[in-house]
Structure 1
Amino acid sequence: MAGALWQGIHREFFREPFAISADLRRTRLLQELKVEHQICDLLLPNDAEPRMSLVVDFSVTEDWVAMDCPPRFPTSAVGLDLLVQSRPSQLPTVWESRLREVRDDLLYIEFPEVIYQKQARRLYRVMPAVDDPRRIELYRTGAPMVLGEILDISEGGTRVRQVGRA
């Protein structure tokens, strides 16, 4: 039976609006964690307290993420699911993965299929899908047309970056 902390995180984060399943976005998040040396919390199902770690490396093609092994991490946890929590760009981020092996002071976990990231905004923002059109033309009476690129969309509006004038 999973601990109360584990269950609380699942209730808080693991909902469809917070799901990131696109390979490119998941890879970017992991790259940010790695490059910025962001502290991650690792939580085994029955842990009362998370253990701190760092993303050391990852491979999408080989389906693994290597993380620094915290002191006194139980090697008996191989094969168990664990939760990874972090805050890249100050956005609470969580994913669940399975611990494959402990080798050379590194934990090798499965590359996450879905990462859950909770927006700090009142209205959730999403990036356009890869096959959605991103380039737009903005028109206003009496002004020249402006070319733009959609960065994200929410119920409250769209964030656009100007890329030029026609």
Structure 2
Amino acid sequence: MTEQIHEVRQHLFADRYRVSSWLHATNVLARLIRDHIFCTLWLDGQPESFNTLLLDMQEELLWVDVPLNFPQNVRPEWPVTIITRMDGLVSGFRSSIVRMEKEAVVVRYPDALYQLQRRQLYRVPPTVQDPDQVAAYRQGAQMITGRMQDISAGGLRMLSRCPKDFPFQPGEQIPQLIFGIRDSAPLRMPAIVRFVDAYATGASGVILGLAFLDPPAADQEKVAQYVQARDREIVRLLSIGLRSSAKAEPTSWKGRIKRWWKT
């Protein structure tokens, strides 16, 4: 789930996922506090993430438990991102630090809460019978074809030959990505290169991590339905299930999580 949370952070904060009801957003935050549900926290601009809990909310502020090994040099106004999973939904918000207290990080109440269904996090490989051909039409460079390694509602991984003209670079925008999924006509949508990995040392292959850019809602729904169907097939095949959201069960709870509990 950690890798999936990192992935969803890339596209969670789109307008389409913004919760329109202020009351619903407040109820979600209140439940995270009441049920002690674990969250993942990022200091924006830093690669490391931290496990934490929401402790309290009052007026325009939220109290967040100080994570283990949290940096000591954080300063006011540092942007933070918090994401969690609950009832099949991923919820998240962006905020900024107001101050550090002995056992809490105080952040501003978020301007907005974002949610998406858990199925949009799944990354699944296609079956042998499913379409797996991908074509990436590049701006000012040759078109590249390859094979889909896995796919989620937010993007896909593609194995292809290294380009002979211009190598791929993270951040490169692909004006048109064409690929197929089961029971659908070929889908066309723009994408952006998130990562580039060599397939093997000295090999001519490359693995691309591609994220969809503002895909049409209908096409994204087709991908999400396919991913959900494949996930169910894999679960049945392996006879395993997804674990539900983990809850913290502290021995003692008196308004704030005690420091000894984290260790």
User: 5+ unaligned residues in a row in structure 1: which ranges?
Assistant: 125-166
Asked which structure has the greater CA Rg, the reply is 2
In structure 1, the residue matched to 2:234 is: none
Could you list the structure 1 runs, at least 4 aligned residues long, displaced by more than 3 angstroms after superposition. 5-11, 120-124
* CA displacement, residues 8-45 of structure 1 (integer Å, 9 cap, x when unaligned): 55541111111014321111001111111100011012
Aligned counterpart for 1:95 among listed residues 83, 93, 96: 93
SS of 1:104's equivalent in the other structure is: coil
* CA displacement, residues 61-113 of structure 1 (integer Å, 9 cap, x when unaligned): x2111010012322432221010010122311111100111112101111111
User: 5+ unaligned residues in a row in structure 2: which ranges?
Assistant: 121-219, 222-263
State the one-letter code of the partner of 2:48: E
Cα distance in 2 for partners of 1:47, 1:109 equals: 17
Cα distance in 2 for partners of 1:84, 1:120 equals: 16
SS of 1:92's equivalent in the other structure is: strand
Map 1:57-96 → 2, pairs under 5 A: 57-59=56-58, 62-78=59-75, 79-96=77-94
CA gap of 1:102–1:45, structure 2 versus 1, over 3 A, is: same
Map 1:21-36 → 2, pairs under 5 A: 21-36=20-35
RMSD: 2.6
Shift of 1:46: 2.8
How many residues matched?
118
Cα distance in 2 for partners of 1:55, 1:7 equals: 19
Shift of 1:7: 9.2
CA gap of 1:75–1:101, structure 2 versus 1, over 3 A, is: farther
Q: Which has more strand, going by share of residues?
A: 1
Aligned counterpart for 1:108 among listed residues 101, 106, 109: 106
Shift of 1:121: 6.4
State the one-letter code of the partner of 2:92: V
Do 1:6 and 1:43's aligned partners in 2 also have CA atoms closer than 8 Å? no
Identity over aligned pairs, percent? 22
CA gap of 1:50–1:7, structure 2 versus 1, over 3 A, is: closer
Do 2:88 and 2:117's aligned partners in 1 also have CA atoms closer than 8 Å? no
Cα distance in 1 for partners of 2:97, 2:23 equals: 23
If asked which structure has higher relative contact order (CA below 8 Å, sep 6+), I would say 1
